[in-house]
Structure formats: structure tokens, C-alpha cells
Amino acid sequence: MRVLVSGGAGYIGSHTVLALVAAGHDVVVVDDFSNSKPTVVGRLESLSGRHIPVHAFDLTDADKTERLFDHEQIDAVIHFAGFKAVGESVAKPLQYYRNNLDSTFALVDAMNRHGVTKFVFSSSATVYGEKAPVPYQEDYEFLSSSSPYGQTKVMVERVLSDVAHITEGWKVALLRYFNPVGAHASGQIGEDPQGIPNNLMPFLAQVAVGKRDKLVVFGDDYPTVDGTCERDYLHVEDLAAGHVAALDHLDAMTEPVRAFNLGTGTGTSVLQMLHAFERAVGRELPFEVGPRRAGDLAAFWADPTRAQSELGWRATRTIDDMCVDTWRWQSANPQGFPDA
């Protein structure tokens, strides 16, 4: 298939571009580079050995989105592009709702006008909210999220579901990611957050290269194995493979829309992750325990059974693999991707 990857220059998008090409698909990228660098593209081209067509614009511009579909032949869309910082979304809710919803509306409109009916959406485990039983299962009914960011995921899932149910031929896979970490085995692409990282793994990696003094562990009095929060970390290359599996499965889907958890099914604590990262780096890393972060849940992980049985997908890489690959990327690229 010829697949439009929105946000294809971002962390998960870029790894998915490589997985798609390796699986024999053609790729077209649309990205406004608001949270990624254009130099990613050169690395994708050298790693894949292929020219990657890139359209640099903001998908909320419906006219440009329409023209993209006029000019490129597209068989399916994988939609990553969106704002994703939880804290920022609380401060700027309208920007988050507008950006994440309008981009989806523009894509869906253009797809409908051009007869494109295959859609894979980058959703998140955050849609399970605060009350879903752990491990999370896809058929949990009461989706909600405490942050505007998370709520945009809930809303876009709903929009796509309504469209898919009413529009002949539509097939939508909603992929609910747990905590993606790691980097491509080449060490040439990886997560490159702008500013101070919000998330654990990129923060740890920056401590290890000396860009940050120490990790602050957000609370050690949770009812977990060692008092620190547990999450279901999965390797970004496993996650990328999950997108290819979902895309290839769309035609076989008996319902117009289906959600899939992409996770390992195992929880790992913050301290366990810290120690795994120390093993990868080969030395101890400085940390201190601070207060809890508002909005954090003690522990959650996926029930990945559905993805295993229906997509034939399972995460294969270990926590140590995730840390080794993150470290290979971060140590070779301490400043992330170059500006030019």
C-alpha cells in the first residue's frame, strides 16, 4: 500500500516509516515539524535506502490537506500528528482540542472525497481513565481522560468510530499505546524531545549524557512492588511493527472499527527502569525521590491478548533491550537530531 504517515518525522512515526518500508509498503509523510527536525528525513532515507516524499504543512489547514490528496495517490492513513504534552494541554486546552480534532477532521474529509477508507489511529492507554480495572482491556466502556490531551484521544476515537460506522468501506484500527521507549537498533533515530523531557526514559537518557543533574522519582509511597509507579513500557520498534500488523489486518476486520492495546502486559517500576538503564550505561545514575506528580496512577499495564490473537502481534523486546537501544541513540546523539 501507499501509506500517508502524518507526523512521520516524530518519534513513533519515524520508526513506523522504517517498519512500513521494510514490510514492502510505500510511504508519504506529512509533518509540520513543530515538534521534530527535518534532519530526521535524511536519516530515514539512508536507513531505508528509499526516497521519502515529505509534505511540510499543518494538517489543520484543510485546503492544503485536500491538495495533498489531489496530488498523491494514497491507499491508507496512519495518523500520528498531534500535540501530546499532558501538562501543556492542561494550560492550553483549546489549542489541544483545536489542533488534534481539526487535523483529524481535515484528514477524514479529504479521505472521504478521495475514496480512502483505511485508517490507523495513534491512540493511548490514557483513554482508560482512572477507574478501569488493570490490566486494561479494549472493551472497557467508560473511556475518559483527566487531561485535555488524553481527552482529545477519547474524542478522536469517537469521531473515527462514528465515521467508520456510517461510511461504506471504512476500516479503522485504534491503537492504544502504553509507554513507548527505546530507539531504532541503528542508533540513528530515537526520541528527541524539545526542552525538558516530561517522560521518564528521555529524562533518564539526558541524565546519563550529563544534560540533566539527576532523575527525580515522582513518589515512592505507591502501593507497588517498590513504592514507585509501574508502567507497561514497550520498545518503539515493537510498537512500529504493531502498526504494520494493524494496517495489514484492516481488510480482514469484520467490524468497521476495532481498538487494540499495544503493550507487553507487564508492569515495570520507575526504580526498576532506572536500574535497567544503569546496566545499559555501565554506571550508577544520580536520583532523588521527590513528591508525587499530580495525575499519576500507581500502576497499569495492558492486556495485549487481542493484538496477539487478531493481529498476530506481540512485543518481543525486553526492558534491557529498550535501555540499551535508548542509550545507543542518546550517547551517539547527545543533542538529538542536528538542526541542519
**Matching residue, cell 495518523:** 79
Distances (CA, A) of 120 to 16, 25, 247: 12, 15, 7
Q: Could you tell me the smallest distance in angstroms from the CB atom of residue 147 to ligand UD1?
A: 6
DSSP at 127: G
The yes or no reply on residue 216 touching ligand UD1 (CB under 6 A) is yes
Q: Any bridge partners for residue 124, and if so which? A: 177
Taking a C-beta distance cutoff of 8 angstroms, is the pair 329, 184 a contact? yes
The yes or no reply on residue 199 touching ligand UD1 (CB under 6 A) is yes
List the interface residues with ligand UD1, window 258-297 (CB under 6 A): 270, 293, 295-296
Q: Which stretch binds ligand UD1 (CB under 6 A): 8-16, 22-30, 32-40, 199-207?
A: 199-207
Catalytic residue flag (residue 177): no
The yes or no reply on residue 38 touching ligand UD1 (CB under 6 A) is no
The yes or no reply on residue 84 touching ligand UD1 (CB under 6 A) is yes
50 or 293, CB closer to ligand UD1?
293
Measure the CA–CA gap between 249 and 258, rounded to whole angstroms. 11
Strands 26-30 and 118-124: unpaired
The yes or no reply on residue 35 touching ligand UD1 (CB under 6 A) is no
Measure the CA–CA gap between 116 and 41, rounded to whole angstroms. 25
Q: N- to C-terminal Cα distance for the chain? A: 31
The interface mask with ligand UD1, positions 224-243, x = CB under 6 A, is -----x-x------------
89 or 161, CB closer to ligand UD1?
89
The yes or no reply on residue 198 touching ligand UD1 (CB under 6 A) is yes
Measured in degrees and rounded to the nearest 5, phi and psi for residue 54 equal: -125, 130
Marked catalytic residue, from 96, 128, 149, 177: 149
Taking a C-beta distance cutoff of 8 angstroms, is the pair 182, 324 a contact? no
Residues in CB range of 162: below 8 A, 6 or more apart: none
Q: Could you tell me the smallest distance in angstroms from the CB atom of residue 283 to ligand UD1?
A: 19
86 or 250, CB closer to ligand UD1?
86
Q: How many residues contact ligand UD1, by CB under 6 A?
A: 20
SS3 call for 338: coil
Q: Which positions are annotated as active-site residues?
A: 149
Which residues are near ligand UD1 by CB under 6 A?
A: 84, 86, 124, 126, 150, 179, 198-200, 203, 215-218, 229, 231, 270, 293, 295-296
